[in-house]
Structure 1
């Protein structure tokens, strides 16, 4: 049974709707990882469209693909959905991260209508300059201790696997989804300090580029906020939280949490959506 008047996922497949935005920001999809929520992203992309789409790093997880190949059909569906949007006129800009750093060798190149840029400055509808950057450049562990970063990545995979088992038990007992790693990030002092230091570094970088804000990813902690006079936006991820950030046509930002609870319940109602033909 679906609560709160929200439609089952299968109904959205049967009757697709779309919300139109000026800009869509996605990051940390980690295609090639078993933890990637590719099916949910495909459904999200069916229901959301934008004039410009930023892929803010770690879209493909080269680290995991080097360890073992994992590329199910849903991961290919994400790629095809993005390429379809490019063909239909959306400007798509790919700003690589550390997990897809191999893309940093192709700045200015176009792949199926998707342009690679090491970073970018986006001007909002209300005239603000936003620095677009993945953010791993300001993660001391990633920059200076790659082996520690790899170990941390393995530990994160283990946490996701444990969390999956834990939540299957919670669902069986009738309890809602609960994220172990999100809880740890917010409750463990060192993690909180890391997030704060990361945000401060990105805000300083935005100022250095004479920007009024910054849009980043990397730490899988979705938020829209202000740090002094600077707008700080982190897009989150599509491993656990399934979040995206959009810019409305008036220049304001919205954080969308596209989560699925109790198997078929979509976490966010498509307010103001318009029907479209199935692609």
Structure 2
């Protein structure tokens, strides 16, 4: 497969080190693109739920691929999020083509782009609420585990996958309202600061829309996640585009690793069930 060239690629909320991370699909995607700049917009390695008992080879392969891209003239900008906030004390660190920071502003074709993870708007990532959020993360991981078992069964039966967590989230009015408030707050701040684009992650909701207020308008973008949506943002031909992973594009690659992957999935699911039950 020929690599697709692009100016910028933004991915966020990979949550490497958790059961929900779709590392194989992410690795396929990263190997298929050739961006001049790769922006990792937070929650890349999930330090909140990091467990040395669970860090599969595919997760390590993603990290190796990112370093490989950096060694081949791709500028890699790692923006910290709340799940990898331990790295914030090293903000503004640079080594070769790799830069660590909390946020960036850059201009392209005369338009200002403001990129940050987005947890600054989320009260559940601060104070005592942070502990509840971490505990909720384990519950989310358990839901993802159940979902993986279900989808494994559906795959054997030749049926389409389904997302339990997305169904729950989309059905809860409070969650929908919180997402809308998040997007509106980000957009209003961007308009006040004369940015043309505001780009976030954090809420795992891919988006590309124009927000208009009485003070102006801005394009709000969200790169989604690599747990459920498998999305990214790509900039090429003078425009931002929202990309969603299509497994059909990688069928040949998947055929070669299918048997090995099924064996690994069974092993990982068995280990994770034992781990969750023992908690």
Bin the TM-score by the shorter chain.
0.7 to 0.9
TM superposition shift of 1:120: 0.5
Give the 5 Å matches for 1:113-262: 113-124=97-108, 126-144=109-127, 145-228=129-212, 229-250=217-238, 252-260=239-247
Secondary structure of the 1:63 match is coil
Q: Distance in 1 between matches of 2:95 and 2:161?
A: 37
Q: Distance in 2 between matches of 1:112 and 1:40?
A: 27
Aligned to 2:10: 25
Q: Structure 1 segments of 4 or more deviating over 3 A?
A: 263-266
Q: Distance in 2 between matches of 1:116 and 1:163?
A: 34
Secondary structure of the 2:140 match is helix
Normalised to the residue count of structure 1, the TM-score between the two structures is: 0.83
Deviations 1:13-67 (A, max 9, x none): xxx32111110001011111122111111111111111111110001110111x5
Contact 1:54 1:94 in 2 (8 A): yes
- Over 3 Å counting, the alpha-carbon distance change for 1:265 and 1:238 in structure 2 is farther
Contact 1:131 1:209 in 2 (8 A): no
Normalised to the residue count of structure 2, the TM-score between the two structures is: 0.83
Bigger RCO of structures 1 and 2 (CA < 8 A, at least 6 apart): 1
Give ranges in structure 2 of 5+ residues lacking alignment. Answer: 254-279
Matched, 1:46 2:34: no
More helix by share: 2
Count of residues in correspondence between the two structures? 248
Secondary structure of the 2:120 match is helix
TM superposition shift of 1:259: 4.3
Deviations 1:196-231 (A, max 9, x none): 111112112323432112111111111111111111
- Over 3 Å counting, the alpha-carbon distance change for 1:50 and 1:112 in structure 2 is same
Aligned to 2:260: none
Matched, 1:61 2:46: yes
Aligned to 1:9: none
Contact 1:83 1:112 in 2 (8 A): no
Matched, 1:36 2:24: no
Q: Distance in 1 between matches of 2:235 and 2:22?
A: 23
RMSD, aligned CA: 2.1
Contact 1:53 1:90 in 2 (8 A): yes
Secondary structure of the 1:62 match is coil
Give ranges in structure 1 of 5+ residues lacking alignment. Answer: 1-15, 267-279
Q: Distance in 2 between matches of 1:128 and 1:163?
A: 41
- Over 3 Å counting, the alpha-carbon distance change for 1:253 and 1:18 in structure 2 is same
TM superposition shift of 1:243: 0.9
- Over 3 Å counting, the alpha-carbon distance change for 1:255 and 1:20 in structure 2 is same
